[in-house]
Structure 1
């Protein structure tokens, strides 16, 4: 499963997800994704792990 993670998470979390076979894309920029960026990236993944930050209204 391809998972988009919107912000860096602890290495242990990354390791656990990868150990069970998930492919991760981690947004590691210091700025949050815009609504348009999130939508574009989400369409390329099976799941989104949204970490912290402010809410995006759709």
Structure 2
């Protein structure tokens, strides 16, 4: 089923239409980016000065 037909299905009137290229997307102050960064930091055993100082098993995360 094409996306255009799926969007027109009953019960989807309240959903917002997303633009394929987000306008004004600022990855530095985006809440999604902040949330992902927090998840990544919580997965580490401790803080590292640089990525190269991180053990390989933690880099694989």
Tell me if TM exceeds 0.5. no
Q: Which has the larger radius of gyration?
A: 2
More helix by share: 2
More strand by share: 1
